[in-house]
Structure 1
Amino acid sequence: MNKEGIAVENDIEVIYRYKYLPFNEGSLKMIADGTLKFTCPLDFNDPFDCMPAFDPKSIESICEIRPDLIKKAGKELGYSPAKRIENKWRFRNNVKTAIASGEFVKSIVRRMGIFCVSRTPCSPLMWSHYADSHKGFVVELRIAMDSPRELIQQIIPSRVEYKKIRPIINWATPDEYELEKYFFTKSEDWSYEQEERTISLDRVAGIYPYSRNDFLCSVIAGTKIEEVNYERLKNEIEKASKVLGKKIQLRKAQLARNAYKIFIPGHLNQDFNGSESNE
């Protein structure tokens, strides 16, 4: 496996991705029940995430240049066709205000669900921020490209790009690709996450099944996990292994002795398989 979490195994490309989780009943369901939590972007801890910046001048000409967008925005905002015709100019002004304020975009992203993963299980910040200060665990997903296509499409993530400047949308002549790409762009401040995400445009935020048999690979316990929780985690993994008829490995992250690093003894990726003597 290379640093991107990609390997070739038996001539099949395989990617490995990591979900950081706090220890709780909901998180354990990813192992016990084979479910994933998709989150609404409006609930993310980054207020910029999935909220496009726009060119203010483009709003002024949007009614003339993009009547299709005005119609779509009106529908999103709950205006009936009769209401749009009856109060044409007021309607247009209201839509322009909704687009400028971000309410139009919010009406769209409310129906989106996003599942986020990382390319590394060894980020101290990720363990702190998303795995309850190293007291939680990380689920390792193994996504082989020879898995059933319909299953891969439900879980395969795309890379998030990190930039200094927010992408700016020209509402009068928006590029559909650029608009979609915006949902995969974040500030450089978040680059430590090495994030990839699966976006669902037809499933709102909620809990959805995935194939444990195809994708659940291993679990990594945090360095500060409580003993009782570690035993519970071990028990759930053993039960899942028995049901699936395959061994789900349980490992425990460790602190390097001479560096500010996390390493995972026994992990197949040598970048994660350090030892205290070579840190």
Structure 2
Amino acid sequence: MPPDYLFKYTPLRAPSDEKRQKQLDDLLLAPHLWFAAPESFNDPMDCRPGFAFDGGTPEEREKFRQTVIKAKVKHDHPDAQGDHCRNLLEEYARQYPQFDESLCRMGHALLSKDLQNTVGVLCLSENDRDPVMFYHYAAGHTGMCLKFRSLDFFAFAEPVQYGMDYPVVDFFDDTDKQSQFERIFLTKYQGWEYEHEWRVINFRKDPAKRLTAYPIELLEGVIFGRLMSPEDRDYATNLLKQRGSPVTLYEAKLNDRHFLLDITMLGTI
């Protein structure tokens, strides 16, 4: 069960990148959020579990071999059709005639690529006062932090677990799918623990559906970074006024005693 509120740190500006600037503007104008592909994450080890292929019946292993061969042909020859495709399948089947280490390595690579490209992940934090988060994800404190109430699909957010070892998934063991899900999508290196991250996972394969709508009233607040310029505050405020739903504005300030930021309310628009 997520906390009552979850937070999304983000820049406000994207100099010299019109497409990215429109995405940032839409964060404030429209009730949409982008579910990113793991390949775009700044952690290259994220969503890259190890796969073990030790189990499985002979029938399951043969089915896996055929699936890997089909995926490999599609990966290497995406435009192949008809007789050409069938000939390629036969050729690859001769190259990989049995379930062995080389086939498993290829299967591992294809599974990892599929995870990196097709799954969508919405990354959030339970913390709105962390100066490192503002620095890393809100353009060095010049950006902002969005405050969402944890309802609708936010209620499905799950906490990330942190550790020192890569998670390993037994491909043929589906007796505990929740545990597999957690190992694949909710496990990160413990150096990222300061993020206090929560995630919502979107398994829809269509990349065009990464932009996902949510009830407009769930964005309850926007926290301006402590170094956001007055001009940028006005820019963000004008966008929010066009949104059609009230939003409370806050600003982040340095705390005199602790290594956390103070969050001060400015008013509701």
Q: TM-score interval w.r.t. the shorter chain?
A: 0.7 to 0.9
2:231 counterpart SS class: helix
Q: Is the 8 A contact 1:124 1:262 kept in 2?
A: yes
Match of 2:165 in 1: 165
Q: Is the 8 A contact 2:9 2:145 kept in 1?
A: yes
Match of 1:105 in 2: 112
- 1:174-253 alignment runs, 5 A limit: 176-181=177-182, 182-205=184-207, 208-240=211-243, 243-244=244-245, 247-253=246-252
1:66 counterpart SS class: helix
Residue 46 in structure 1 maps to residue 43 in structure 2: yes
Q: Is the 8 A contact 1:77 1:107 kept in 2?
A: no
1:106 counterpart SS class: helix
Number of matched pairs: 242
Separation (CA, whole Å) in 2 of partners of 1:53 and 1:116: 22
Separation (CA, whole Å) in 1 of partners of 2:215 and 2:172: 45
Which consecutive unaligned segments of at least 5 residues does structure 2 have?
Answer: 14-20, 75-84
Structure 1 length normalisation: TM-score? 0.75
Match of 1:12 in 2: none
> Residue 43 of structure 1: CA displacement?
1.3
> Residue 123 of structure 1: CA displacement?
1.1
Which consecutive unaligned segments of at least 5 residues does structure 1 have?
Answer: 7-14, 145-151, 268-279
Residue 58 in structure 1 maps to residue 67 in structure 2: no
Which moves more between the two structures, 38-47 or 78-87?
A: 78-87
> Residue 27 of structure 1: CA displacement?
1.9
Separation (CA, whole Å) in 1 of partners of 2:132 and 2:168: 29
Structure 2 length normalisation: TM-score? 0.78
Query: CA, structure 1 residues 204+116, in 2 after alignment: closer, same or farther (shift >3 Å)?
Result: farther
Give aligned-pair identity as a percent.
21
1:67 counterpart SS class: helix
Separation (CA, whole Å) in 2 of partners of 1:183 and 1:43: 14
RMSD value, Cα: 2.9
1:58 counterpart SS class: coil
- Per-residue CA deviation, residues 67-90 of structure 1 (Å, 9 max, x unaligned), is 233333333333556644554341
